[in-house]
């Protein structure tokens, strides 16, 4: 079975757990997923908490993705106005068979036009802001994550791990999902509609 290339989009002000929660799950199946960190250039990218992360690929030379993961974080607030970034994201992500986001990463997908005609969710504390992005998105306030065809979007931060476990279950079966969550000693939420934070 060929590995799936996962292109994780890094930008200044991304949320660490939005990235490394899902990445820890995917990396527990190294024979199935090749995780790449895609940045503007070759320089390390500074997260919201201030920790810098090295990239593996520049945006202009990133390998063809099978899955794209867009995290949230404070950096999304300015990026929704960054047309060159949104144009690149739309082009890059459209080449993937699955487009995913965690938290306010869905605001970037929406601003890039990648959620038009899809159901999606996001972080509840930022939900009212996120839903101003995009023109034709069916936003779902109460959802741990939303799967609509090849678009998967999760609620805030830690919900990205639940979504990723569900994605692994969808792609590789329940045994693979059980293997990675047991390895991480992670008790995931398996009901995508259970969202106590929507209240």
pLDDT tens digit at each of 199 positions of the chain: 789 999 999 999 999 999 999 999 999 999 999 999 999 998 999 999 999 999 999 999 999 999 999 999 999 999 999 999 999 999 999 999 999 999 999 999 999 999 999 999 999 999 999 999 988 999 999 999 999 999 999 999 899 999 999 999 999 999 999 999 999 999 999 999 999 888 8
What is the structure's pLDDT at 135?
A: 82
DSSP 101-158: E-TTHHHHHHHTTTTTTSEE---STTHHHHTTS-SS-EE-SS-SEEEETTEEEESSTT
Strands 151-154, 45-46: pairing kind:
unpaired
Count of domains forming the chain: 1
What is the structure's pLDDT at 29?
A: 97
pTM of the model: 0.97
- Check which CATH number belongs to the domain holding 109 and give it: 3.40.50.880
What is the structure's pLDDT at 191?
A: 93
Please pick, among 5, 9, 70, 103, the residue that the annotation labels catalytic: 103
- The parent domain of residue 63 ranges over 4-198
Q: Is-catalytic flag, 5?
A: no
């Amino acid at each position: 079975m060929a590995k799936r290339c996962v292109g994780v989009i890094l930008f200044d002000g991304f949320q660490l757990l939005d990235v490394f929660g899902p990445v820890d799950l995917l990396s527990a199946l190294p024979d199935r997923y090749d995780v790449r960190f895609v940045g503007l250039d070759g320089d390390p990218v500074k997260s919201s908490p201030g920790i810098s992360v090295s990239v593996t690929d520049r945006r202009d030379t990133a390998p063809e993705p099978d899955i794209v993961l867009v995290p949230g974080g404070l950096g999304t607030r300015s990026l929704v106005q960054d047309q060159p970034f949104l144009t690149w994201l739309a082009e890059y992500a459209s080449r993937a068979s699955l487009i995913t986001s965690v938290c306010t990463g869905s605001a970037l997908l929406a601003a890039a036009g990648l959620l038009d005609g899809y159901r999606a969710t996001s972080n509840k504390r930022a939900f009212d802001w996120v839903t101003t992005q995009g023109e034709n998105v069916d936003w779902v306030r109460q959802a741990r994550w939303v799967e609509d065809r090849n678009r998967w979007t999760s609620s805030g931060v830690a919900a990205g791990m639940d979504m990723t476990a569900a994605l692994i279950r969808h792609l590789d079966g329940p045994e693979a999902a059980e293997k990675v969550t047991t390895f991480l000693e992670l008790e995931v939420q398996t009901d995508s509609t259970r969202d106590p934070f929507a209240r």
